[in-house]
Amino acid sequence: MGIVYEAVELESGRTVALKVLAADLSIESEAFERFRREARLAAAISDARCVFVYGAHQVDESPAIAMELVGGETLQEKIARGDVIPIETAVRWTIDVIDGLEAVHRAGVLHRDVKPSNCFGTLDGQVKIGDFGLSRTLERDVELTQSGQFLGSPLYASPEQIRGRVVDARSDQYSCAATLYALLTSKSPFSGSNVGEVLARILSEPPATPRSVRPAIPRRLEKIVLRGMERDPEKRFRDLEAMRAALFPFSSSAAAAATIPRRLGAWLVDFSIIAFTAGYLSALVQTSHGMGSDQARPWLAVPFGTQIALACLPILYFALFEGLFASTAGKWLFGLRVAPVGRGPALPVRTTIRAALYEAPYILLMFPVTFIPNDPVTYAWSSLTIPLGAVLVRLSTMRKRNGWRGPYELLSGTRVVQSKLPFRRLRRAAPPPERAPTPDPALPERLGEYEVLGLVGLTGSGLLMHARDAKLERNVWIQIRTTAPPAGDWRRSLARPTRLRWLECPRAAAIPADVFESPGGCGLADLALRGEPLEWSLAERALVSLAEELARCEEESGARFRGSPNQVWIDRNWNVRLLDEPVPHDDTLMDSTELLGAAAHALLAVGPRRELPPDLPVHAEALVRALTGSAEPFTDLGAARTALTDSQAAAASVERRHRSSQLAVSTLLISIFLAFSFVLYLVFRNVVPHAIEMHALLDELQEGSALVVADGQNLKELKKGSRGPVLDEEGLRLRQIALSYELSNGIGPNVMVGIEPGPRELCDRALQEFPNPSEAEMESAMARIREQRHGRIDQSALPWDWITLDKVIAGFVAAGAALWTMAALISCCGWPGGLSFRLFGLSIRSRNGRRARRWLGLVRVLAFGLPLTAGYAGSVWLLVSGFTWGGWALFVLTAAAHVAGVVLSIATPSRGPVDRLLGTRIVPR
């Protein structure tokens, strides 16, 4: 479209990047309209990660745009130089690009030309996104190109953009992922001898995997890049925020070591998965193994070789998931991952070694079990001491100074780190109250090219007016200088996001004046009048940026900063802007730490009625108390700045994943009872009837008579068993065939016989006489036996005939709710919120912002657990009393309320239904 020069504004002396429309395009109305639109769209965006537009000019009858000059290289220049860009640096630059694109999208604009040459590096190592020549608003589709004409850079354009289809923010996501691909591999994702070939490959072929070009790229990072470049937009990340969250763990190699409570919680989840899987496989082995189990130790249901195989199950589990994903299910729930330490083999190799070393103590200690004498007590004692000894070995080298690394981690070159975001993903908050300009008839209607809209306020230099730039369609502030000279060269060149950008001096103004960008929003005093605390994540960001700006001011002046709270302005995006003068004028001056404290008071609405913000994390409590004066204040700005920066490294609010994991662990007991109730259902419906009939065969063989059972005769009478006629040879043969089949292929000896010698001898004899009968022989034998009995054994009247299946299920659920409530109450005596809150690093605050005491935690448990326990217990009572429909109706209603409470708690993780009732708030520790 044009040529970009480094230029100097003659009037202001400011160095800018001047983009001039090419001479052969300036006469084309279409090109001119696109150029003018770029200026307007770019001028509407003011963000630290976007190149700022100062104004529009005319150069030799060609339109030109004056933009911020970014001092570093473009990312394309870095790629073209051939340097291998570190993986962490490439990811960090991409996150900067994502931040800029989010600001672009918030302004209602699609970039449509994200590529390395449009990403500009700053002198401090950050990246800004620029060049909005191909942008268009999200609100309307302005056709400025010929039908079917493609606009954009083909190497990084999305497939839907190439096809000319409607594009959305996911198109910019594709281009951003393609840019990251180029940073990681030093080459574009697609190449060809001409543009047509490149476009065809983008539409029909997947890019070469980044690891095929650079094997050092982590597999998980490769998957993130390829997901962002999916041809189908539906398969990409849901938004740029999700993509940034996925990339963040790779933006720095200095992740914090995982804490012991989180590792313990992750281990509990992984242990439950492994134990459930091992128990299920053990049951399969036990059932299918028949009478071949160890006869010397009948209490040992699973053979020793099988136990060794099951002991290797954790090796497979940890090696597989940590090698592929650097995280298991438990570690993912608790925000942990396995990271390599130092140079060495790839992570999958290390995690395999790590898993083998982790399980080795247990396997080595379990080996002597084969020599334990025939003594159940000794065997049971060893079953307790062996796991304990393995745990002690694993914990033997864990120290805080080595990042809590066990011997299996030291030897394998791995460690467990926290992968949670150190910053809080900002929720979309309503903009701050906008200070409307005050009408003043004394103000002029126009000032040069600007339409005056009203008065912002009085300053020490003169009037501060609100005006409209019709050329770029944006609002500006105009500072009339009646008692002070216009801004000097230093102020005109100041381009920090925490200060207002100087734009120009009005050419037609009769008195000195300066034009600044209009930040929108309101002053700190206006915000304080609301009396409502700002969400901590927003307030924390504002305080950090204010501290950084105050520190820069002190560095530049060489003296302590003194200013007024009326100099602190909150713009339309909740960013802090430090004004040159108080608005309105105020003679009250504070030093930097006092000013920071005043900002904390206004942003957090701290006062007599509210000691602390209700959503304040525990780790930030000392910081806020020091800022607001309720504790020993900071000695200087440096200490406050360091404390604010450190606070950003921890969670600012509770995430849904975090809360759902905590709820899953805290309700584990009642979940076990629900699962056990389902197992009982399957057992009652399938296993029990079959086992009863097999026990009847044993009774018949043991008594030596053919017991003919009439309809309605129950199992209790059968076991008393009046002797019938002696079994003939055919009856004996049929029963032995059925028993042999069941012992070898059916429900197994443990369900059949236990350890009584009589039934065991009958089973041994059946196995010897008829080894491995077929299924057809089994069915034929059972059919003949049932003919002799005149039907099946009747199980409708069991010894516990007053219990039915629905009563059993409802009873177990009610017992689970009651036990959960009791366990939670006992747990709350140790920690407010219970053990699960402690494991997941959560705490509770009351209405006034104070940390909740134990009694409030007990009230929370009772408010949730008592209604559920009463509902489930009431349904059991109705079922036992014969009110079947009423019992099941109450049971369903209670279960629905239970599920709704959990869903609402996950939907609003910091304020579930009980918290709304009690006025409490769940916060990170």
User: So which residues are the catalytic ones?
Assistant: 113
CA nearest to 872, candidates 792, 809, 778: 809
CA nearest to 156, candidates 175, 135, 182: 175
* 515 bridge partner residues: 478, 504
Distances (CA, A) of 594 to 525, 629, 676, 714, 761: 15, 9, 61, 86, 90
State the Cα–Cα distance between residues 696 and 690, nearest whole angstrom.
Answer: 10
Half-sphere exposure at residue 195, Cβ-oriented, CA atoms within 13 angstroms: 7
272, 308 contact by CB (below 8 A): no
User: Which residues neighbour 478 within 8 Å (Cβ) at sequence distance 6 or greater?
Assistant: 447, 450, 452, 464, 465, 466, 467, 506, 513, 514, 515, 516
State the Cα–Cα distance between residues 458 and 460, nearest whole angstrom.
Answer: 7
Distances (CA, A) of 79 to 22, 73, 247, 622, 833: 27, 10, 20, 45, 52
State the Cα–Cα distance between residues 377 and 375, nearest whole angstrom.
Answer: 6
State the Cα–Cα distance between residues 279 and 310, nearest whole angstrom.
Answer: 9
140: left (phi over 0), alpha (psi -120 to 50) or beta: beta
| Torsion angle of C-alpha atoms 610, 614, 620, 624, degrees rounded to 10 | -20
CA nearest to 837, candidates 717, 666, 667: 666
State the Cα–Cα distance between residues 84 and 517, nearest whole angstrom.
Answer: 39
- What tokens were used for 94? 């991409």
CA nearest to 172, candidates 186, 181, 160, 164: 160
Amino acid at 512: P
Exposure b/e, 727-765, CB count within 10 A at least 16 = b: beeebbbbbbbbbbbbbbbbebbebbbeeeeebbebbee
State the Cα–Cα distance between residues 105 and 304, nearest whole angstrom.
Answer: 63
Sign of the dihedral defined by the CA atoms of residues 693, 694, 696, 701, in that order:
positive
State the Cα–Cα distance between residues 573 and 46, nearest whole angstrom.
Answer: 10
CA nearest to 183, candidates 68, 317, 87, 66: 87
State the Cα–Cα distance between residues 846 and 856, nearest whole angstrom.
Answer: 8
State the Cα–Cα distance between residues 708 and 786, nearest whole angstrom.
Answer: 9
State the Cα–Cα distance between residues 50 and 642, nearest whole angstrom.
Answer: 27
Q: Are strands 109-110 and 119-121 parallel, antiparallel or unpaired?
A: unpaired
Residue 467 backbone phi and psi in degrees, to 5: -140, 175
State the Cα–Cα distance between residues 678 and 295, nearest whole angstrom.
Answer: 33
* 475 bridge partner residues: 468
State the Cα–Cα distance between residues 126 and 120, nearest whole angstrom.
Answer: 8
| Torsion angle of C-alpha atoms 315, 321, 325, 327, degrees rounded to 10 | -80
Residue 524 backbone phi and psi in degrees, to 5: -65, -35
Q: Quick one: three-class SS letters along 415-467?
A: EEEECCCCCCCCCCCCCCCCCCCECCCCCCCEECCEEEEEEEEECCCCEEEEE
